[in-house]
Structure 1
């Protein structure tokens, strides 16, 4: 095979060029790059839905994400992954709201991009936009230092960031001359939201990449919930490519056995599951440590905040790391005239019997309003929500284990949607090289709605 036909065929019931185990964002990205090059693919998913940890539950008309991290418009893989052209996004207001010393400060804001037509346009505009003073991050000199540091990160090429000495993010920030107040009042709570690591044990290189992404772009969510991205990717693959509710009992390079469909022959196998599930199928594969995340969703009679801002807690005065009135960011996540507040607790949460009470008390302080009449809609705890990236961390862990056997996911790259998508592309290109197929060249664009 050579090049990319206009209409890749779907796999047969018992054979495909490539079998992908796992229909998370990495596996679906791999499938799109492969089918765009004319390769037949079968994506097998044990769950009854696609998306893995990017799942959204529907409860009484609310759309509730199981994960708690925002996306950033400057993630390049959102623009490079075929199939994401129709994804609508909902922007947070520029910057973030930080609760520090018992007060809320608007920080890190950039110029308005309400008229932007695409995420790429947003990212380019923000890369050169002036930043106003950063309240809550120290005095005028501290704010100037922080703005200068973010500006330098935004302009630094990736290879130069990755050439820096690697240490923990906490050690690197202390060595760069940023005042402790600035780190604790802005950088630490921001990285907690982006990387789910409040203790800043993450590799400094990974932290720099996350901060640079923030400096270059805007925080956003996908309209309708996190599941929108994987659902869109699955829908735009050739019919019959994705099969959910399929339990794989045995797998090899040229044959996969399932309970539901028997044996499926193939030429290559891609493991696109989480790290632990991949290690169960392939003993010896390294399983990283993880950051646990608990997401709570509440509804309230009136919105505690009308602006679509991400609220971070710099005081660490309770279990909540960050929270947002999600119905203000994305109205489609709540029924008409209803309010949705989504909050994330990092690490080990309080005991279940007191979790809601403790979180509700903390939210009352963060939003400055009583929460006694708020209703808890759902709680989702994932002890392995985010793979840890402690130093030394290999940002480009091998996706090709041997010819015909590949692995991808956020545990092979960075622990973000960007990392998962990029690992999927790397795996697909490794497969294509071994099959002797030239990758197709596509460019996707997200439609941005402020």
Structure 2
């Protein structure tokens, strides 16, 4: 016998879960199906020999408006990183820290000489619009308009601000790790929105790992998420949608496809109503390693980058995670994460090259580091080229909706906001 409901959400990542929560709060009969064995989508946490390791290095910034609005951050017991960067230079590891949030690092920041007057002035020229721009200007009622009058690539904007020298390398390599690209091709408006978020909040890690975030969203649903259910087709049949999956079949008045971009495109194209999901966005990949160490290679609880003219290896960043989040490790042990880019035309770094570069950044001996986990995440983040416009429309054909960060911004903010906007679109469709 075919089951039925009012709305089926396909995919239990942040976007799908937020959409389902809001529809449930509005009184709709909602089911959520997920192909994987747990909720979270690209946000997953593994338990390995007493360590917590996230699949791909991710952090939660409590300053995201969507996080403030829909997430109980206090319940996650967020463990914050320091507000600043460790910077590998030719003569050692320097510090560039927020003077108000990290007053104990003021002397090291000033003594580093990283913020030379001319370079600092150029950085302020570029960053100044972030003070007055906000996520509201981007999402604002679904209107498609750039956040600034003229959006260009991040590289072009930094060039226009005449930011050069060592500080430019610091900015480039910091954003390479955040945006998962090292060519500056991302929307400058998006980069400034992220900068504003970093200025307003300090990212951290939940005590139980990043997957605690989607699990919190899923826990509020009246009907538990069904995992291990891979949807094969969505087809309009009469006045409802017939959804067929591995070992299950269901009729729903409306279907929300909240999968990865490739899955969303395939299911959207497969429904009888026609209409694509708005084009398949390119995706960016990241390789993360997690190493166990008996002693921390640094006492800094900061993200560290290699700002030398010729970096010593493939890493875009590294952090001694246990300095910020001791809950990620068993007693007496320390955990080092590293991130490197990979994708088409880019060789995949080996474990030894990664370990060697991380040790060089810290100026430490990594001989005793043990590999805890290695994650190749080819579809870690959608590209976000200029111009940055409002989120794409949620309804792509009668009764079929698509949501995800690939429909909004490539971020936790974008995923939650897309879920919210999609729920609103579903509810509006009831009154047509």
Alignment partners' CA distance in 2, 1:275 and 1:419: 14
**Aligned-partner SS, 1:26:** helix
Written as runs of structure 1 = structure 2, the 5 A alignment for 1:165-244 is 165-185=150-170, 187-238=171-222, 240-244=223-227
Query: Shift in Å at residue 294 of structure 1?
Result: 0.5
Aligned match of 1:336: 331
The aligned length equals: 405
Question: Is the 8 Å Cα contact of residues 69 and 194 (structure 1) preserved in structure 2?
Answer: no
> Which residue of structure 2 lines up, in the alignment, with residue 250 of structure 1?
233
Matched, 1:271 2:266: no
Deviation string 1:327-371 (CA, Å, 9 cap, x unpaired) is 11111111111111111111249866x611101110111011111
Partner SS state of residue 247, structure 2: coil
Please report how far the alpha carbon of residue 393 of structure 1 lies from its aligned counterpart in structure 2 after TM superposition: 4.6
Paired residues of 2:76 and 2:208 also in contact (CA < 8 A) = no
- Give unmatched runs, 5+ long, in structure 2: 104-108, 139-145, 270-275
Q: Deviations over 1:182-207 (max 9, x none)?
A: 2212x212212221122211112211
Q: CA 1:67–1:266 in 2, change beyond 3 Å: closer, same or farther?
A: same
| Inter-CA distance 133–395: structure 2 relative to 1 (3 Å threshold) | farther
TM-score (norm: length of structure 2): 0.87
1:428 matches 2:408: no
Asked whether the equivalents of residues 125 and 161 of structure 2 are also in contact (C-alpha less than 8 Å), the reply is no
Q: In the alignment, is the contact (CA less than 8 A) between 1:33 and 1:82 conserved in 2?
A: no
Q: For 1:139 and 1:14, locate their aligned partners in 2 and report how far apart those are by CA, in whole Å.
A: 66
1:259-408 counterparts in 2 under 5 A?
259-261=246-248, 263-283=249-269, 284-285=276-277, 286-315=279-308, 316-348=311-343, 355-408=350-403
Structure-2 separation of matches of 1:85 and 1:364: 34
Contact 1:145 1:178 in 2 (8 A): yes
Cα distance in structure 1, aligned partners of 2:347 and 2:398: 47
Per-residue CA deviation, residues 250-272 of structure 1 (Å, 9 max, x unaligned), is 213522122223x2121111010
Q: Distance in 1 between matches of 2:328 and 2:281?
A: 33
Q: CA deviation at 1:430?
A: 0.7
Aligned partner of residue 20 in structure 1, secondary structure: strand
CA RMSD of aligned residues (A): 2.5
CA shift at 1:391, angstroms? 2.7
3-state secondary structure, aligned to 1:250:
strand
User: Where do 5+ consecutive residues of structure 1 fail to align?
Assistant: 1-11, 115-131, 438-450
Within 2, Cα distance between the matches of 1:91 and 1:77? 18
Moved more, 366-375 or 216-225: 216-225
Check if 1:32 corresponds to 2:16. Answer: no
Which residue in the other structure is 1:140 paired with?
117
What is the CA deviation profile of residues 217-258 of structure 1, one whole-angstrom value per residue up to 9, with x for unaligned ones? 2122222211110111112211x3311011212213522122
CA gap of 1:136–1:247, structure 2 versus 1, over 3 A, is farther
Indicate conservation of the 8 Å contact 2:56/2:286, yes or no. Answer: yes
1:125 aligns with none
Q: Is residue 318–residue 362 contact of structure 1 (8 Å, CA) maintained in 2? A: yes
1:267-309 deviation per Cα after TM superposition (whole angstroms, max 9, x unaligned): 1110100101111112243111111100100001101122321
Check whether the contact 2:320–2:335 (CA below 8 A) recurs between aligned residues.
yes
CA contact (8 A) 1:96 1:109 kept: no
Once structures 1 and 2 are overlaid, which stretch shifts more, 366-375 or 155-164? 155-164
Match of 1:104 among 79, 88, 93: 93
Query: Is the 1:310–1:322 contact (alpha carbons within 8 Å) kept by the matching residues of 2?
Result: yes
**Greater Cα shift, 312-321 or 53-62:** 312-321
Deviations 1:388-427 (A, max 9, x none): 1123454412222134211111111111111111111110
Contact 1:150 1:215 in 2 (8 A): no
CA contact 2:126–2:161 (8 Å) conserved in 1 = no
Contact 1:22–1:44 at 8 Å: present in 2 too? yes
Moved more, 66-75 or 368-377: 66-75
